[in-house]
Every structure is written in C-alpha cells, then in structure tokens.
C-alpha cells in the first residue's frame, strides 16, 4: 500500500513537472458547450493503439504471436537480433500513458499478461512493457488532476492468465477496480450517458474488458463484445486501410449505433513487411513508426471524410498532441461550438451601417 501511494505521489510530481495545463489536457471541459449533453458514444474521442508500448524490454511475453522468420532467429539463439527487430515492430507509442492523456487522448488500449517471474501483471506486445501498476499510477495521477476528463480503458490480450499462480482474471479485475475505486462508471449508465451526468455523479473511467464471462460478474466492468465495436482492417497499405475503415464506418449508424465505435487508424505489419524492412536496398517502412508516418500523411484528409459519419473513437500509433488535437477539433459544429470559438454577429455594426447617411460625392 505504501509503495502504491508513493508511486502516485511520484506520478503527481511528474504531472506538475511536465505541465498540467497542456493544450488538450482539459479539452472535455473546454468543449462542454458542445459535448456536455451529447451521448458519449457520439463524441469524437482521440485514443492510442497499443498504448503501453512506449517502453519495451528485451524479453518476449509468454504466448505471444511472432512471425515465422522472427521465430527462426529466436530458435537459433540470435537473441540480440530478434529483440532489436521485434522492438521496431512492437513499439506503437513513444509517449508515456500520462503524456498520452495530457495530449488529449481519452481512450487507452492496454494489453495485459501475467509475468510469472515477477508475480505481477505487465503490459505486453510481443515484448514485455511496463508493469500494470506503473500504468495505473499514471492514469490515477492524471484523473486526479483533471476530474472532469472522461477516460475509456480497454483491457485486452490476456493470453497468459494462470489462475492457480495468482495471475487470473479475478486478481486482475480486483487490481483495476481498486486503483479506480470511486471513479468507475456503472455499465447500467449505458453508452448514451452524457458527460454532464458523469460529472454530476463524479464518475470518470469506463473500464472495458475483453472477456464476457468475467465482465458480467461486475456492475462496473463493461464487456467489450456487448458495448464496443472495434474494427481492425489488418492492412499494411494506407490506401487499402482507409478504404476498409471508411467502408466499415458506413455500417456505424446502422449496425453499431448503440455501441462505442473504434476506428483503428493504424497499419499492421505482416511477415513480408518485416522481411522487406530488413532489406536496406528497398524504400520501405522499417518499423511501426515508419508506418505511422505513412498513415499521418493522409490522416487530415481522412478525418474530413469520417467526421460526419459518427466515428466516435479514433486511435492511432505514435500519437501526439497535434494528432489528438486534430481529432478533438472534429467536435466543433454549428450546433455547439465552444464559446471561445463562436462568432457572434456584430449587431451594433450592422445597425450603424443602416443608420449611416450617404454623403453625396461633390465631384
């Protein structure tokens, strides 16, 4: 307990050292005139894909999928090569969880695994990431400093959860609920809950869990399959990615109108992508970061296409404040623009114009 409280204090200190008033840190409050009475499922929210991969170890998590060519390197014991390559294709973010939230992201994609050697839950994406406890401290620190910023957290992956070793779902959910005690939104509120109601009830975090059986045991743990649609295009080509995302988005208001809807705007490396990336003679992406830059080149254009299709949550790799800000801006509309952005007509100027007498031209 003392260790956990110390961690929160350190995180809060980090929060103030990095700045608590970043441009997008309180965007939900600033956009209140527009979003306070809008169902959460209809607000356009920036988020991050594989959120906790900003720091990866040189050790593979248990039961992780690896392309066959990487497995071949692993089999012959070329550890330094396999981990160096794997990191390039496993690291999807460069900023910490706290920084991502401070940038304006309000959706986190957390992949969890139980690490036997540490007797603790860790983040994972092929390689081990930071511990779950360190990630939770960052979230709690941000939530404490920004009590009206609503955060949606998806817990997934969970490929190694040995119940008999203390790494089962019950212990994981207990750790999550304890960290977010008092802040969790009951699922009885539904996806149409408004920020105004959450602010009134002092609820701030929606916890989505990728296991229906376990989620149904709790009134504040939301089953992903019931409450969220998150479409993965599984493409390594930008044009095909955007085509697939746009096509699926057409189904949003028909088939998924009552769910949270996630647009996964990130490329996925396949075996050929990784293989070609090792060939220095080819002009191809050599990491997920390179692929994220490719997506970024078309991103503003895609947002203009998606904005009127009710995209809800848009997640990317290697997010920053600029990317999050572009997504946040989509919440501006004629029906509810933040006060500071509304252009009020100058009635006095119009009146003066009508009352001004024309002076004849003497020439």
Residue 69: CATH number of its domain: 3.20.20.190
Distance of CA 100 to the CA centre of its chain: 8
Q: Is the confidence at residue 349, as pLDDT, over 90?
A: no
Assigned domain for 62 exists: yes
> By residue range, what is the domain housing residue 86?
2-355
- Res 44 pLDDT > 90: yes
Residue 357 has pLDDT above 60, yes or no: no
Q: Residue 360 domain-assigned?
A: no
The total number of structural domains that make up the chain: 1
Q: Which pLDDT does position 79 carry in this prediction?
A: 57
**10 is a domain residue:** yes
Where does the pLDDT of residue 234 fall: very low under 50, low under 70, confident under 90, or very high at 90 and above? very high
Q: Is residue 361 part of a domain?
A: no
Please tell me the predicted confidence (pLDDT) of residue 242. 98
Tell me the Cα Rg of the chain. Answer: 23
Q: Where are the beta strands (DSSP E) in 214-344?
A: 222-223, 228-231, 260-264, 313-316
- The pLDDT, as a whole number, for residue 316 is 98
Nearest to 146 by CA among 194, 102, 178: 102
Inter-helix orientation angle 321-329/288-306, to 10°: 10
Percentage with pLDDT > 70 across the chain:
82
363 domain residue, yes or no: no
Calculate the average pLDDT of the chain.
87
What tokens appear for 76 in the block? 């012959």
294, pLDDT greater than 80: yes
The structure's pTM equals: 0.86
Q: Return the minimum-mean-pLDDT range out of 237-251, 273-287, 309-323, 332-346.
A: 332-346
pLDDT category, 68, cuts 50, 70, 90? low
Question: For the chain, what percentages of helix, strand and coil (3-state, to nearest 5) are there?
Answer: 45, 15, 40
The predicted-structure confidence for 138-169, as pLDDT tens digits, reads as follows: 999 999 999 999 999 999 999 999 988 888 99
CB of 322 within 8 A of CB of 270?
A: no
Alpha-carbon distance 110 to 125, whole Å? 9
Residue carrying structure tokens 């295009």: 233
pLDDT at 24: 97
Indicate the range of 12-26, 101-115, 186-200 predicted with least confidence.
Answer: 12-26
Count other C-beta atoms under 10 Å from residue 270's C-beta.
Answer: 13
Between residues 217 and 75, which one has the greater pLDDT?
A: 217
């Amino acid at each position: 307990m003392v260790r956990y409280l110390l961690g929160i204090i350190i995180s809060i200190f980090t929060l103030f050292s990095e700045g608590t008033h970043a441009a997008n840190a309180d965007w939900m409050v600033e956009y209140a005139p527009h979003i306070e009475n809008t169902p959460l499922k209809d607000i356009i929210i920036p988020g991050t894909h594989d959120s906790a991969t900003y720091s990866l170890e040189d050790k593979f998590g248990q039961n992780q999928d690896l392309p066959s060519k990487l497995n071949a390197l692993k089999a012959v014991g070329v550890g330094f090569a396999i981990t160096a390559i794997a990191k390039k294709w496993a690291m999807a973010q460069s900023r910490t969880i706290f920084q991502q939230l401070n940038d304006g992201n309000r959706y986190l994609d957390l992949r969890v695994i139980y690490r036997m050697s540490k007797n603790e839950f860790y983040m994972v994406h092929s390689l081990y990431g930071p511990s779950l406890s360190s990630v939770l401290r960052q979230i709690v620190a941000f939530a404490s400093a920004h009590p009206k910023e609503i955060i949606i957290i998806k817990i997934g992956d969970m490929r190694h959860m040995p119940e008999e070793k203390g790494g089962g779902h019950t212990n994981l959910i207990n750790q999550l609920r304890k960290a977010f005690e008092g802040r969790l939104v009951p699922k009885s509120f539904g996806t149409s809950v408004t920020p105004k109601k959450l602010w009134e009830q002092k609820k701030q975090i929606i916890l989505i869990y990728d296991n229906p059986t376990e989620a149904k045991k709790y009134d504040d743990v939301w089953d992903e399959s019931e409450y969220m649609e998150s479409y993965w295009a599984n493409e390594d080509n930008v044009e095909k990615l955007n085509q697939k995302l746009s096509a699926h988005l057409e189904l949003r208001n028909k088939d998924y109108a009552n769910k949270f809807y996630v647009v996964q705007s990130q490329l996925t490396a396949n075996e050929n992508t990784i293989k070609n990336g090792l060939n220095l003679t080819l002009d191809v992406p050599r990491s997920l970061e390179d692929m994220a830059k490719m997506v970024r080149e078309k991103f503003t254009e895609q947002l203009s296409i998606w904005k009127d299709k009710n995209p809800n949550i848009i997640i990317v790799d290697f997010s920053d404040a600029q990317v999050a800000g572009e997504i946040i801006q989509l919440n501006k509309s004629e029906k509810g623009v933040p006060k500071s952005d509304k252009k009020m007509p100058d009635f006095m100027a119009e009146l003066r114009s009508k009352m001004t007498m024309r002076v004849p031209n003497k020439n």
